A and B are shown apart, each in its own frame.
Chain A
Amino acid sequence: MQRRSVLLGLLGLPLLASAVEGDPLPSVMWDYHHQRLLNNEPFVFDERVKVSVPPFAEDSRQVPVEIDARALPGRFSRMLLWAELNPIPRVFSLRASAELVPLLAIRIRVEQATPIRAALLGEDGVWHVGSAWIDAAGGGCTAPSVVRAQPGWEERLGQVLGRSFARRDNNRLRVQISHPMDNGLVGGIPEFYLDRAELRSTTGEVLASFELFPAISENPTLTMEVRGHPHTVLWLHDNNGNEFEAGL
């Protein structure tokens, strides 16, 4: 490592050691995303926000990410997930009710090895940031669609497969939505992706409100947990104006 630093120093490149104090990862993009995504608001790198990814991306188009911030005290009002070195870094931005458990899993595309960051806004007004590193051969964002190669995908557009699981007092929801999540980076195919989602109670109260980005894998797979609410409704919206609903 030391030899590498010396060499990079010779080449006039910034050292790959953590660029920001306390950052567990060698990142050159933290400041940029802090400014753009977190509005330069106060933050802390916090190990209680556990971001889990495999050590390497076996399929760069479907990389599973799990965020578990149950160790964080108090409630959280927002959660952001992004992949720093992706052409489309943002995965989602979430506004949470008190009933949403800070435990969520989703699959994303990565274009190259990159830090993955999850930031939760706590009651203290500070963003608590969890980090993980994924190694990848890459190409997940610019690979041809698998969904579009399947006959009849248009008929299944917006179809939701799902199931709920009782977990003590919580209800865990797993859903998979048929959607190509085209990100505009594959030649000749314009952006076509789910851009909003809401998880609602049966009486219409919003439990979680998502802004979604096409760094999410095609046929998005989402796992989340709510306190109580054995029955919920998931509402989805794409950038072409289609709306879909599912009862869980």
Chain B
Amino acid sequence: MRQLLLLAALLFGGAAQADFDYHLQPRQVAEGTWLLEGSTDNFARENGGDIVNTGFIETDDGVVVIDSGPSRRYGEALRKVIGETTGKPVKLLLLTHHHPDHVLGNQAFADVPIAALAGTRRLLEEQGDDLAENMYRLVGDWMRGTEVVLPTQTLEAGTLDVGGHRLRLLALSGHTGADLAILDENTGVLFAGDIVFYQRALTTPGTPGLEVWLGDLDTLQRLPWTLIVPGHGPVARDAAPFDQMRDYLGWLDALMRKGVEEGADMNELIRAPIPPRFAAISLSRYELVRSVSHLYPRYEQRGLSKVSIEPGEPHAQ
């Protein structure tokens, strides 16, 4: 059996993944502010789950980290580049929401406070193990040793003063039900978390509804930001990510409303043409399949009415 496993390893094991190195390259996007920009692809063995944007802010009192990445290995690599870049200890880790690509690097920060909204902690407690298990299935050995670590501090909307930086915390809900966005009032950098996807199709498991999400976008856009760091995709200095989000959410909503009115079942919507203006958005077909599965049942419920005949009632004609 061992020889067969060895043979299998030789046949299928690619040398490319042998080092499991994320090659994290922090890029300075504002004074004392660095971004680690992930790919806009899906989770894959080729990227180790590094499809997410994480960041860190150097303050007088240590470093504030925003999201810990998809795996223990990523978290450890992130911690290492933070030390190399700033020479300062980590003061605090903020989690934008409970999704695995944002929180499964927490183990590397277990010795510092890990802070999140109460809802994020609850959702991670409920779903974390299943989400982590699915990540093992999707990216394999990159996940080795990864376990869920829950937040140790609860955040509320308001401001947080850390080492001379005034961080405005926004408690939103459009993406997962508990979504934190952080505006650094010193630099104007808005860490929007997954309320904003840019050039990468948004994901909808757990959204309380697209109208809630649209409201959150309004809230964020009104803030005095100078740079938007989306949860996924490139940063922007203009409102383009907001415009794209509204356009895409509006299209998704209209597609499903129309589907209900025309009596479409899910597969008809999954096949629907994707407007050419979304051609540059990565994974829009894939995420349409997912979003229809997540959301269409709610639209159907609103579009169907009770047709039961109670016993004794005459049949409807």
Residues of chain A having any CB pair with chain B under 8 Å: 3, 7, 10-11, 52-56, 58-59, 62, 64-66, 105, 107, 137, 158-163, 165, 167, 172, 174-176, 202, 221, 223, 231, 233, 244-248
8 A/B residue pairs, CB under 8 Å, sorted by A: A54-B267, A62-B297, A105-B267, A160-B308, A161-B306, A174-B263, A174-B265, A246-B309
Does B303 count as interface, using CB distance less than 8 angstroms? yes
Does B149 count as interface, using CB distance less than 8 angstroms? no
Q: In the complex, are the beta carbons of A66 and B293 less than 8 A apart? A: no
Chain B nearest CB from A9 CB (Å) reads: 12
Tell me which of A55, A137, A248 contacts B307 (CB under 8 A).
Answer: A248
Tell me which of B137, B266, B271, B307 contacts A175 (CB under 8 A).
Answer: B307
Q: In the complex, are the beta carbons of A52 and B271 less than 8 A apart? A: yes
Q: In the complex, are the beta carbons of A160 and B307 less than 8 A apart? A: yes
Q: In the complex, are the beta carbons of A223 and B134 less than 8 A apart? A: no
What 1/0 flags go to B264-278 for Cβ under 8 Å of A? 011110110000000
Q: Main SS of the interface on chain A?
A: strand
Known: A10-B4, A58-B294, A246-B309. A231 touches B267 (CB 8 A): no
Known: A58-B289, A137-B134, A231-B317. A247 touches B307 (CB 8 A): yes
From A3, A167, A246, residue with most partner B Cβ within 10 Å? A246
Q: Which residues of B contact A176 (CB under 8 A)?
A: 300-301, 304
Q: In the complex, are the beta carbons of B137 and A159 less than 8 A apart? A: no
Complex: how many Å from CA A17 to CA B301? 42
Q: In the complex, are the beta carbons of B263 and A165 less than 8 A apart? A: yes
From B268, B293, B305, residue with most partner A Cβ within 10 Å? B293
From B263, B270, B300, B304, residue with most partner A Cβ within 10 Å? B263
Does B18 count as interface, using CB distance less than 8 angstroms? no
Complex: how many Å from CA A107 to CA B297? 11
Does B316 count as interface, using CB distance less than 8 angstroms? yes
Top 8 A-B pairs ranked by shortest CB distance? A247-B316, A165-B263, A64-B266, A105-B265, A58-B293, A161-B304, A66-B267, A162-B307
Q: In the complex, are the beta carbons of A231 and B307 less than 8 A apart? A: no
Complex: how many Å from CA A199 to CA B317? 14
Name 5 extra pairs, CB < 8 A, besides A176-B304, A202-B317: A55-B289, A56-B289, A160-B306, A231-B316, A247-B315
Q: In the complex, are the beta carbons of A163 and B263 less than 8 A apart? A: yes
Complex: how many Å from CA A246 to CA B310? 8
Q: In the complex, are the beta carbons of B316 and A54 less than 8 A apart? A: no
Does B11 count as interface, using CB distance less than 8 angstroms? yes
Known: A55-B289, A174-B304. A64 touches B316 (CB 8 A): no
Q: Which of B247-295 contact A (CB under 8 A)?
A: 262-263, 265-268, 270-271, 289-290, 293-294
Tell me which of A3, A10, A162, A165 contacts B262 (CB under 8 A).
Answer: A165
Complex: how many Å from CA A6 to CA B11? 10
